[in-house]
Amino acid sequence: MSVEVAIDVPAGSPARVATPAPGDPRLARLSLNQRTTANASLREAIDGALAAGLNSIGLWREPVAEVGTTVAREWVESAGLRVSSLCRGGFFTASDPADRVAALDMNRAAIDEAAVLGARTLVLVPGGLPPGEKDLVGARSRVVDAVAELAPYALERNVTLGIEPMNPIYAADRGVVSTLAQALDIAEQFSPAAVGVIVDTFHLWWEPGIEAQLLRAGERILSYQICDWITPLPADALLARGMIGDGHIDFGAFTRAVAAAGYRGDVEVEIFNAEIWAAPPEEVVATMARRYVELVEPYL
Amino acid sequence: MSVEVAIDVPAGSPARVATPAPGDPRLARLSLNQRTTANASLREAIDGALAAGLNSIGLWREPVAEVGTTVAREWVESAGLRVSSLCRGGFFTASDPADRVAALDMNRAAIDEAAVLGARTLVLVPGGLPPGEKDLVGARSRVVDAVAELAPYALERNVTLGIEPMNPIYAADRGVVSTLAQALDIAEQFSPAAVGVIVDTFHLWWEPGIEAQLLRAGERILSYQICDWITPLPADALLARGMIGDGHIDFGAFTRAVAAAGYRGDVEVEIFNAEIWAAPPEEVVATMARRYVELVEPYL
């Protein structure tokens, strides 16, 4: 009898554990964020998640828009998948009044879509410094203003806004909220039913005192997203995220702290990485499932 | 009468202000960190600093070693320059006992050199995760242990240890101390005469609540180092620092907060950047002097 050994992507090394089969209870909380298989359509992502035995998917607005929100909801429901989150709203930092109005309109549309899709959580990427501006304190305060403006709208539609603190590597151009502590300082100004936080290992693994902040977050943790910090950092900083286990993050310790905070939701694998996007999606999903049952699930 | 317009490097754009001449009182606190003109020898760096009218230089151990510490001290003294800091000790995170002993020995040698050179401050780069290890909490605690071991040795030699918190982009491979708050949590365990902090805009510009942390730091600020955060981030993350004014940092606001903390020392320009290293050193020094008198000095 010969045994075919699976290969992890993009590492190219033999798998250390067997690929969990559909129905394996360890897969119960694993969610495929669409961005991990960025070149797949929504249909392909749903089918890939099903084939791998997943019960949950993290959706992105752009591929959803290709088929329309209603069709997307039907597909997801027929597949029996949960929608662990919808990415993404946010980009709140514009100083120009017209741009701010446009950002709020965009976010109301995203909240509406989340409601139709049955996504409890809309992920908010705060936005970076406006072009040519350097007032970080001002940009940060505009994030708070925008969340305050949107919170009632979200609450009425049973959608919770998830502020995503982002690694300081993105503070200038993508996300001015840089720590979980800072995200909680904002979220705690609102009802937990309206505003929570997104916890992503890539963004937060380095934060001093992260365990205490996770405990503080408690029920406000709306999504636990996982990918690794790899070095040397890939040349394109926006695509610098690694497959779980390929980098420096201690997923056991981090995951234990997330579990200790009371988080019982899905665990989304969200990886922006050109090599992973170039690999066959089914191999990406199989690798992430293996790494998840090896490095994350035992600590939940 | 024709006017020759100076060109800023590496931007290639015309200078916005005139180059301050030697003797200009605005240059009184500007220091050239040797790493900004990394391809220059110590002799060339001293001569370049003098020609530009600077009164201070930040030394690195490697170019100092090329001529020996005693000769280096004679050169610096003859030139009438202050030594704003010596780079660098640190790299404290090894878990292997023999590696830890070697690191402590290296740091004692660096403290001795700082004493001979008349440098009040030895800059400590904490070190990253040991190869293959993921225990960030453990690595951070070994930094505290090493500082505790070295503090009395430094104090006896009238050298102050400067813990440098580093941008989280380097948390895995270079510096596990990631915020000024965290660096102060360590430094405050020791006498201010023995242990302080290095404040570098590149590392700390994004830190939530940085103004309050700078006030907290007060007399523990041993060196104020400046360079910019530029986007897109250059491909080599270790050489990602920009010329003052080329990026996103609000030097006015940051410098005001450093001054409000009571800092009266030199301001070191330390830039790791391949384009800047490739430019003629005298143009680099002239550009940094112009940017300094435009964007930094008025706020000191």
pLDDT in tens, B127-140: 999 999 999 999 99
The predicted pLDDT at position A2 comes to 52
Residue B16 has pLDDT above 80, yes or no: yes
Compute the distance between CA of residue A214 and CA of residue A260 in angstroms, rounded to an integer: 8
Using beta carbons and an 8 Å cutoff, which residues of A are at the interface with B? 129, 134-137, 140, 167-169, 171-173, 176, 178-179, 181-182, 185, 205-208, 229, 231-233, 235-237, 247-250, 253
Q: Find the helix packing angle between A97-117 and A136-156, rounded to 10°.
A: 40
CB A285 within 8 A of CB A52: yes
Say whether A136 and B205 touch across the interface (CB within 8 A). Answer: yes
Q: Apex CA A113: angle with CA A109 and CA A115, to 5°?
A: 115
Say whether B169 and A173 touch across the interface (CB within 8 A). Answer: no
Residue B226 has pLDDT above 90, yes or no: yes
Query: Mean pLDDT for chain B?
Result: 97
Residue B276 has pLDDT above 90, yes or no: yes
Higher-pLDDT residue of B182, A1: B182
Residue of B nearest to A173 (CA): B231
Compute the distance between CA of residue A176 and CA of residue A166 in angstroms, rounded to an integer: 7
Task: Specify the amino acid at residue B119.
Answer: A
The predicted pLDDT at position A92 comes to 97
Residue B2 has pLDDT above 90, yes or no: no
Query: A228 forms bridges with which residues in the sheet?
Result: A242
The predicted pLDDT at position B4 comes to 73
- Could you give the C-alpha distances from A64 to A36, A60, A105, A271, B61, in angstroms and in order? 15, 6, 18, 19, 57
Q: What is the rounded average pLDDT of the residues B273-277? A: 95
Both structure tokens of B280:
């003629």
**Residues of chain A whose pLDDT is less than 50?**
1
Give the residue from A250, A291, A294 with the most B CB atoms within 10 Å of its CB, the best one to mutate. Answer: A250
CA dihedral A286, A289, A293, A294 (to 10 degrees): 60
CB B104 within 8 A of CB B153: no
Residue of A nearest to B171 (CA): A206
Residue B1 has pLDDT above 80, yes or no: no
CB B88 within 8 A of CB B126: no
**What ipTM is given for this predicted complex?**
0.96
Q: What is the rounded average pLDDT of the residues B290-299? A: 98
CB B24 within 8 A of CB B55: no
Q: Distance, in angstroms, between A235 CA and closest chain B CA?
A: 4
Q: Distance, in angstroms, between A58 CA and closest chain B CA?
A: 27
Of B172, B206, B249, the CB nearest to A231: B172
Q: How many CB atoms lie within 10 A of CB A159?
A: 26
> Which chain B residues have a beta carbon less than 8 Å from that of A179?
208
Which residues lie below 8 Å from residue B59, measured CB to CB, with a gap of 6+?
B34, B42, B72, B76, B83, B85, B86, B87, B117, B119
SS3 A196: strand
The predicted pLDDT at position B3 comes to 60
Q: What is the rounded average pLDDT of the residues B162-176? A: 98
What's the pLDDT band for B5 if we cut at 50, 70, 90? confident
> Which chain B residues have a beta carbon less than 8 Å from that of A169?
167-169, 233
